[in-house]
Each structure stands twice: as C-alpha cells, then as structure tokens.
Chains A and B, each alone.
Chain A
C-alpha cells in the first residue's frame, strides 16, 4: 500500500519549464495527430498538386538533387495552407470549451502551454507531410537506388521544413488576435502574395526574394531545383542567400512565439 502511494515522479509544480513544455507538447501532439481532418487536408493538398507535378517532365531527370528538390517544391506549394487551416482552431480551443480558468489554476504556466501547443500540434500537423515524403522517397529509392535517401532528407530539411515551421508559429499565435476564420483567409492571401505573385504582376512582394517562405533559394542554390519567381527577378541564388532564406522564416516564427508569450503573460490575471 505504501509503495502504491509513493510518488515515482515529482509533482508537476516541482518540475521545470522544460518538463512542463514536453508534457504539454506530448498531449497536443496526440490530440492533433488523431484528427482525421489533419490527414485528409494535408495529404489531400499534396496529392492535388502532385497529380500534375511542376515543372513538366522533371521526373525523368537523372540528377537526384534536381529530382527531390522539384518534388519538394511541389509539396510546399499547397500543403502550408492546409497545415495552417487545421492548426488555427487549436488556439482558442481551451477558451471555447470553457477550460481557461481551470488551466490557469494549474502550475503549468502560459509559456509551457504555448510552446507545447506550437511544438506538439505543429509537429502533428507536419506529420502527414513527413509520412508522404517518406513514402515518396521509398518509391524513388525503389526506382533510383538508395542514393536518393540522403539528398531527400536534406531537401526536406532545407526546402519544406522552414516554411512549415514559419506557418506553424503563425498559426498558433496570430489567431489569438484575428480569430481562426479571418486568419485562414489571411494566411491564404499571404501565401499567394508572398510566395507566388512574382514581380511580373507589378505588385510589391517578397516572392522571388530570400524573404519568401517557399524554399526557392535553397532549392536553386543547393539542389539545382526549379526557380520560378527568383528566376523572373534574374537571381541565381548563392549559398549565403539560401541560408538567409532558411533563417528568415525560422527567426520570424521564433519572434512571433516570443512576442505572443510576452503579451499573454502580461494579460494573464495570475
């Protein structure tokens, strides 16, 4: 009996920030990854774009780098919209269910809950993308040999992941201000304007510059992948520009999360 009552782990209040964040992230991950909408939307959008891959004919190239980079470009074109859409309603979920007061009374503070949501729910929303990418690499490996695997993993990390992390960070913070409905429309507008409306339209846009989130610069600089808006600007990206193009969305995402934590902490009654 005594053994049963003995604590095997310290109470949550006594644990550190990191342990609380990991616990929150684990729960958010499991909650999000089990939603059918997450898989349906993200896989659906990837399948929609890959049904007619761009640029035409790239699948017959013999260069592994170009092949995986162009597939990565097809993945990143549509799926961030789906990732953002399924994440946006996580932000006010606790308030909608009337759980805010209960959560505020627990020793887990605002910081661990926010970062746990970002890491856990974000990772869960990216999971279908990773699963689809692994499936594609398996198919390409069967066709071209195991040499595709390291290039494929590098392309995922350099082309697909930074944009998705940026969208995740915005999707678990901006809806606090805008609400999920307006945010989804805003995200869609941003994704087109900031990544696909090139200079030819005459509208000022980051598309085709290192400050876009679609991974064109790493694709062109390191993998000889397709260039679209950057090509219209006459840019041949360097390694430094590619690093900047990866660092920018990651740093903006980090800044958005830190600012949101600061604002929520200031507004908290406890």
Chain B
C-alpha cells in the first residue's frame, strides 16, 4: 500500500515538473484530429475523404504531436544537478517521456475504435490496424525526436527537424516508396500508399526496430547527464 502511494506521489511529482504543456500538446493533436474526423462524418464527407482523414490522424498527427511534446521535456530541469546526485537521470527522463506518451497512445487507440465504428477507416486495414496503423509511426517519431533533442540538447531542433521529416514524407512519398531502404521507414504505409502485404509487414517491423535503436542511442547519450547541467538551449 505504501509502495503504491509512493509510486503515485512520484508520478504526480514528475507531472508537476514536466508541466501541463507537453501532455496537453500530445493530446491536442490526437483529440483535435478525432474532432475533425467526427465533424467531417457528421457533415456528410465522402467515404474516401473520411478514410484519408482518419488515416492522417492516426498515422500522422497523433505521432507528430506526441513526438513534439515528448522532445520538449528535455532540458527543462532547472535543478538537474540535484536530480542527478540522487537518482539515475536516464530513468527520470524516460519516466517523464512515458507520462507524455502513454495518455496520448491510449487516446489514439480510442480514436481508432471510434473511427472504425464510424466507417472512417484506412482501406484494407483489419483488426490489427487498431494498433498497427499508429503505434509503429508513433514509436519511430518519438524515439527519433528524443534522440535529436538529447543529442543536440535542443527541443527546438528536435521539433523542427521531426516536423520537417514528417512533412517531407508527405510531400516526397513517391520518391521514398521508390527507394527500397527508405520504403521501410515510410510512416504512412497502408494509409497514403497501398502496397503488397509483405511490404506492409516489413515496414511495420522496421519502424519500431529503428525506434528501439534510437531509444538505445538516446539512453547511451544520457549516460553523461552532466551535459544538461547549466546550459541554455542550444
């Protein structure tokens, strides 16, 4: 019982440290997108437009909002030195990322259920799509954003570059799909581009695999947490 109480106290403390802005930003993207799709459905938008919008929210806006929000928590500790003397900074930072990502992931899952019930659903996606449409891109984008933010000590650089990569994937989809390597890292596979099932499977495995590598690299960089002490954003 005491253990549970101390865990909740710790989570509340970390939530206070990260502030309201990151969780709100992460939820704004996925909730705002859901409202857009629901309004489009209510106003009689065409099936193709609904399917496209639902796919864009799940595979695009929810991962982007979560990644921008998660990367913003880097370098926010005015008392980072004190935190490092009492605990492992890597654990603290990953816990805070989890506090931003977990609610956004749950709401995005709820979005997927609602979209499917409204028949606003990316064509060809089965039950697995409830998770596989959005979770691999979300892990990929969040992990890359964290790696950039930690590597450069700059949430601004992370959000700018990640947003640029996201938009480049949208604008240059044809070039990316024509490249066998880049195709495995295409976020909108199955939503903006229809491909054979085995290519979709490879893509859904490759995205989180690269994400895990990025998380490990970020963890290694956090092995030298003194880089975050006493510096303004780069």
Cβ-neighbour of B28 out of A35, A182, A201 (below 8 A): A182
Query: Which of B25, B32, B164 contacts A44, CB < 8 Å?
Result: B164
- Most chain-A Cβ atoms within 10 A of its Cβ — which of B28, B49, B152, B161? B161
Q: Is A76 an interface residue (CB 8 A)?
A: no
Q: Is B190 engaged at the interface, CB distance under 8 Å to the other chain?
A: no
Question: Roughly how many angstroms separate A192 CA and B69 CA in the complex, as a whole number?
Answer: 19
Closest A residue to B33 by beta carbon equals A189
Whether A27 sits at the interface, judged by CB under 8 Å, is no
Determine if B234 and A182 form an interchain contact, defined as CB atoms under 8 angstroms apart: no
Stretch at the interface among A45-53, A62-70, A139-147, A241-249: A45-53
Quick one: which of B28, B163, B175 contacts A52, CB cutoff 8 A? Answer: B175
Is A169 located at the chain interface by the 8 A CB criterion? Answer: no
Check if B157 sits within 8 Å of A40, measured CB to CB: yes
Pick out which of these stretches binds chain B: A84-92, A108-116, A257-265: A84-92
* Known interface pairs A89-B233, A201-B49; A182-B25 also in contact (CB < 8 Å): yes
Q: Is residue B65 within 8 Å, beta carbon to beta carbon, of the partner chain? A: yes
Q: Does A36 contact B (CB under 8 A)?
A: yes
Which A residue sits closest to B172, measured CB to CB?
A: A52
B171 touches A77 (CB 8 A): yes
Q: Is B189 an interface residue (CB 8 A)?
A: no
Tally of chain B residues near chain A (CB < 8 A): 39
Q: What are 25 A-B pairs at a CB distance below 8 A?
A: A36-B154, A37-B234, A41-B160, A41-B161, A41-B164, A45-B164, A48-B164, A77-B171, A78-B168, A78-B171, A81-B164, A84-B160, A85-B163, A89-B233, A179-B21, A181-B21, A181-B72, A182-B21, A182-B25, A184-B163, A185-B65, A189-B61, A192-B170, A202-B40, A202-B46
Chain A residues with Cβ below 8 Å from B21 are: 179-182
Is A54 interfacial (CB-CB < 8 Å)? yes
CB neighbours (8 Å) of A42 from chain B are 160
A222 within 8 Å of B (CB atoms): no
Knowing A45-B161, A185-B29 are in contact, say whether A86-B156 is a contact too (CB < 8 A): yes
A52 vs B154: C-alpha distance in the bound complex, in angstroms? 27
Identify which of B46, B160, B232 contacts A85 (C-beta below 8 A): B160
How close is A37's CB to chain B, nearest CB, in angstroms?
A: 4
B211 at the binding interface (Cβ < 8 Å): no
Asked whether B172 lies within 8 Å of A185 as measured between CB atoms, the reply is no
Q: A179 — which chain B residues lie within 8 A by C-beta?
A: 21
Chain B 38-80 interface mask (CB, 8 Å, partner A; 1/0):
0010000110010010000000010011001100100000000
CA distance A93 to B65 in the complex (A): 23
Chain B residues with CB below 8 A from A44, complex form: 161, 164
Further 13 A-B residue pairs, CB within 8 A, beyond A35-B154, A45-B164: A41-B164, A49-B172, A78-B171, A85-B156, A180-B156, A181-B68, A181-B69, A184-B159, A188-B68, A188-B163, A188-B167, A201-B49, A203-B40
On whether the beta carbons of A54 and B171 are closer than 8 Å, the reply is yes
> A82 contacts the other chain (Cβ, under 8 Å)?
yes
- Residues of A near B49 (CB, < 8 A) are 201-202
Q: Which of B22, B40, B154 has the most CB of A within 10 A?
A: B154
- Against A, the Cβ 8 Å flags (1 = close, 0 = not) of B157-197 are 10111011111101110010000000000000000000000
User: Would A36 and B234 count as touching, CB distance under 8 A?
Assistant: yes
Q: Is the CB of B156 within 8 A of A202?
A: no
B107 in the interface (beta carbon within 8 A): no
B217 within 8 A of A: no
CB distance from B53 to the nearest CB of A (A): 8
